[in-house]
């Protein structure tokens, strides 16, 4: 909230200085003038965020100042101060575009709240706007969204390798976008008009997988009633995406190695070899290096696959991408479901930002899709988010028995700290999650020396 520029317009000297004092003390960059004419001069020199003006001024009135200000820059917020008993002036000020009004006499606390509330609202609006603009602009490759450094590196790698025949290994936890990246590479490459064939290596047993990939000859096994071409042949000139490559058994690993080394495949049951030209993109959510060390994945095959490695980091390690991704999905599902939800409330956004996302981008996508269905207001609020995000983290047995937590008090303290972290130190929200009211939370925190 700091650093906002606020202009005070008030002719009463004492009032002027009082307002200036209170606003400056809040950490805003405040200055004041004693009439509307001077205010209009000032807004041309300085980009103010907010104007607080008295309605009754010696020269032009507060209302005229409001109109001129909004005409000059509609983004400058305007709060009108009017005397008690002139509520209709306040109402017409709002009609003319003022964000808020304060009735005299008022206490300084009221002023602080009004200023803070309006600046926060604007910040949220600007953040949403900024994120929407980013979406429309450059931070995408195809439909892969991300502004984090890690994703920038991914975009760059895709661009560099897309047209080459190099084998690519994509590594990342579930839902980080491995398949999305594989498709982007193929469909942005010079092989885009050729086939792209995805194969899930984990879904089929080794024998069936071998025959699917390399084909078989008549009589190779029971049920092989005719020769059949495999996916490698079908994909000739294009791309095969070998998903979950870490799950293939030792026999197939050897066959793969040969296919990768000299582009030769051998249909099951045949002695004949065929040469194919296929680009391989492989993906794994397991750390292949560890599998190599454990002896369950061939080292030579690992080196063959890992000519270019694209590492997709989990979402919790690139939290900066959460906002832009959430807005991307919001736009998509809001349109799809005929809803007019354009924003994510501050509270909901904090929950999204602090969650750990074990299911990564897929989980975020599902949660936003669900929220657009359940939300009844024009913005996503915590109410439409699922309990995993809004409930405090469960206390694990480990916490209960760990060395540094012995008493119930210490446990409470640890739990409160966790919940406060989740809500970005928002005590109102934390107390809701804890199921107590705010003052009780304060009391407990005081008792535990947490303030």
Ligand X SMILES: Nc1ncnc2c1ncn2[C@@H]1O[C@H](COP(=O)(O)OP(=O)(O)OP(=O)(O)O)[C@@H](O)[C@H]1O
Q: Which of 332, 399, 314 is nearest to 368 (CA)?
A: 332
What contacts 336, CB < 8 A, 6 or more positions away?
none
The Cα–Cα gap between 244 and 199 comes to 9
Cα dihedral angle (222, 228, 234, 240), rounded to 10 degrees?
10
Contact string 267-286 vs ligand X (x = CB under 6 A): ------------------x-
The tokens for 365 are: 């996508």
Of 247, 347, 365, 375, the one binding ligand X by CB under 6 A: 365
Q: Of 49 and 321, which CB lies nearer to ligand X in the complex structure?
A: 321
Q: Which of 282, 16, 310 is nearest to 144 (CA)?
A: 310
Q: Of 211 and 285, which CB lies nearer to Mg ion in the complex structure?
A: 285
The region of 152-160, 163-171, 172-180, 387-395 touching Mg ion under the rule CB under 5 A is 172-180
What contacts 119, CB < 8 A, 6 or more positions away?
1, 4, 49, 50, 77
Residue nearest to ligand X (CB): 177
What contacts 116, CB < 8 A, 6 or more positions away?
1, 26
The Cα–Cα gap between 209 and 304 comes to 20
Tell the smallest beta-carbon distance from residue 323 to ligand X (Å).
13
Tell the smallest beta-carbon distance from residue 246 to Mg ion (Å).
12
Residues 285 to 304 in contact with ligand X, rule: CB under 6 A: 285
Q: How many residues bind Mg ion (CB under 5 A)?
A: 1
Residue 179 is a binding residue for Mg ion (CB under 5 A):
yes
The tokens for 416 are: 């409160």
Contact string 297-336 vs ligand X (x = CB under 6 A): ----------------------------x-----------
- 174 contact, one of Mg ion, ligand X, none, CB 5-8 Å limit per kind: ligand X
Residues 168 to 227 in contact with ligand X, rule: CB under 6 A: 172, 174-180
Contact string 50-89 vs ligand X (x = CB under 6 A): ----------------------------------------
Tell the smallest beta-carbon distance from residue 413 to Mg ion (Å).
41
Q: Of 146 and 215, which CB lies nearer to ligand X in the complex structure?
A: 146
Q: Of 37 and 179, which CB lies nearer to Mg ion in the complex structure?
A: 179
- 172 contact, one of ligand X, Mg ion, none, CB 5-8 Å limit per kind: ligand X
Q: In whole angstroms, how large is the CA radius of gyration of the chain?
A: 31
The Cα–Cα gap between 333 and 370 comes to 9
- 362 contact, one of ligand X, Mg ion, none, CB 5-8 Å limit per kind: ligand X
The Cα–Cα gap between 323 and 9 comes to 37
Residue 362 is a binding residue for ligand X (CB under 6 A):
yes
Of 39, 79, 145, 368, the one binding ligand X by CB under 6 A: 145
What contacts 71, CB < 8 A, 6 or more positions away?
none
**Under DSSP, is residue 80 helix (H, G, I), strand (E, B) or coil?**
strand
H-helix or E-strand containing 197? strand 196-200
- 167 contact, one of ligand X, Mg ion, none, CB 5-8 Å limit per kind: none
Residues lying near ligand X in the complex (CB under 6 A): 143-146, 172, 174-180, 285, 325, 361-362, 365
């Amino acid at each position: 909230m700091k650093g906002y520029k606020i202009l005070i317009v008030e002719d009463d000297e004492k009032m002027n200085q009082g307002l200036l004092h209170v606003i400056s003390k809040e950490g805003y960059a405040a200055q004041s003038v004693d009439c509307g004419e001077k205010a209009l001069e000032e807004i041309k020199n300085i980009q103010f965020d907010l104007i607080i003006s008295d309605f009754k001024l010696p020269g032009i009135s507060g209302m005229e100042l409001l109109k001129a200000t909004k005409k000059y820059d509609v983004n400058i917020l305007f709060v009108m101060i009017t005397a008690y008993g002139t509520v209709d002036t306040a109402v017409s000020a709002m009609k003319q575009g003022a964000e808020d009004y304060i009735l005299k006499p008022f206490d300084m606390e009221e002023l602080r709240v009004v200023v803070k509330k309006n600046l926060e609202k604007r910040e949220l609006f600007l953040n949403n706007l900024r994120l929407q603009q980013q979406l429309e602009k450059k931070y995408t490759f195809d439909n892969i969204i991300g502004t984090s450094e890690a994703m920038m590196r991914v975009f760059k790698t895709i661009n560099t390798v897309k047209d080459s025949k190099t084998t690519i290994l994509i590594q990342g936890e579930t839902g980080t976008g491995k398949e999305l990246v594989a498709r982007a590479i193929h469909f942005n490459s010079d092989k885009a008009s050729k086939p792209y064939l995805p194969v899930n290596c984990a879904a089929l047993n080794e024998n069936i997988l071998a025959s699917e990939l390399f084909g078989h000859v008549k009589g190779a096994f029971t049920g092989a009633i005719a020769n059949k071409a495999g996916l490698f042949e079908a994909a000739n000139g294009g791309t095969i995406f070998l998903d979950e490559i870490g799950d293939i058994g030792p026999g197939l690993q050897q066959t793969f190695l040969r296919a990768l080394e000299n582009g030769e495949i051998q249909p099951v049951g045949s002695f004949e070899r065929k040469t194919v030209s296929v680009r391989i993109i492989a993906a794994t959510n397991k750390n292949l290096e560890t599998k190599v060390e454990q002896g369950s994945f061939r080292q030579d095959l690992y080196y063959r696959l890992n000519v270019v490695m694209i590492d997709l980091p989990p979402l919790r390690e690139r939290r900066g991408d959460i906002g832009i991704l959430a807005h991307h999905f919001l736009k998509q599902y809001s349109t799809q479901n005929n809803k007019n939800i354009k924003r994510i409330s501050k509270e909901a956004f904090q929950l999204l930002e602090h969650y750990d996302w074990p299911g990564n981008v897929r989980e975020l996508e599902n949660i936003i899709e669900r929220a657009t269905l359940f939300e009844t207001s024009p913005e996503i609020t915590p109410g439409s988010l699922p309990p995993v995000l809004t409930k405090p983290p469960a206390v694990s047995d480990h916490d209960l028995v760990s060395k540094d937590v012995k008493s119930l008090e210490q446990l409470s303290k640890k739990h409160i700290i966790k919940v406060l972290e989740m809500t970005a130190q928002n005590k109102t929200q934390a107390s809701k999650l804890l199921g107590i009211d705010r003052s009780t939370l304060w009391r407990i925190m005081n008792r535990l020396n947490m303030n």
